[in-house]
Amino acid sequence: MSTQFPCRDCGKSVEWRISKAGKKYLAEPWLWYGGAYSEHVKTIPAGHRCTPNPTWKAEAAARAGAALAADIAAGNIVKQAPVIVYKGRKVPVGTTGIITWIGEDNYGAARVGIRTDSGDVVYTAQANVKVNLINEEAN
């Protein structure tokens, strides 16, 4: 069973399904062809027919933006947070950019990818960066 989640464009509850042809598609969980006779009739969840809802999109974006702003204000290293490198050797101290990746190195230590102001992506230990609140205020 897959997990239902709100469609990004309209807010309707949807889930990922795999078609008979093996293709992944967005389905509306409550729309089943076959219904009570599903043992005898092929049950295929209907594909999601999206009617984009600009209000939903705006509200979802506002919620995501507010959550991100709260994380940044709290100094949390999250994707899209503006950061500054303040220690370490490989990436110059003072490098600023936006977090684009968060993961681990082969030893399980937290690492981040930063898209710098010049557009390059550099990787360093998460311990080497902190949220760059000054940069955030300037934006």
Q: What are phi and psi of 82, to 5 degrees?
A: -75, 130
- CA-wise closest residue to 1 among 12, 15, 21: 15
Structure tokens at 75: 């100094």
Question: Smallest distance from the beta carbon of 69 to Zn ion, in angstroms?
Answer: 26
Which span (50-58, 59-67, 100-108, 112-120) binds Zn ion, by CB under 5 A? 50-58
Map tokens 């082969």 to a residue: 106
Element of type H or E holding 84: strand 82-85
Question: Smallest distance from the beta carbon of 108 to Zn ion, in angstroms?
Answer: 38
Coil vs helix vs strand at 47: strand
**Does residue 68 bind Zn ion (CB under 5 A)?**
no
**Judged by CB, which is closer to Zn ion: 31, or 69?**
31
**Does residue 77 bind Zn ion (CB under 5 A)?**
no
Coil vs helix vs strand at 113: strand
**Judged by CB, which is closer to Zn ion: 50, or 133?**
50
Count, residues near Zn ion per rule CB under 5 A: 4
Q: How far apart are CA 137 and CA 95, in angstroms?
A: 17
Question: Smallest distance from the beta carbon of 64 to Zn ion, in angstroms?
Answer: 17
**Judged by CB, which is closer to Zn ion: 28, or 72?**
28
**Judged by CB, which is closer to Zn ion: 47, or 88?**
47
**Does residue 10 bind Zn ion (CB under 5 A)?**
yes
Q: How far apart are CA 127 and CA 125, in angstroms?
A: 5
Residues that bind Zn ion (CB under 5 A): 7, 9-10, 50
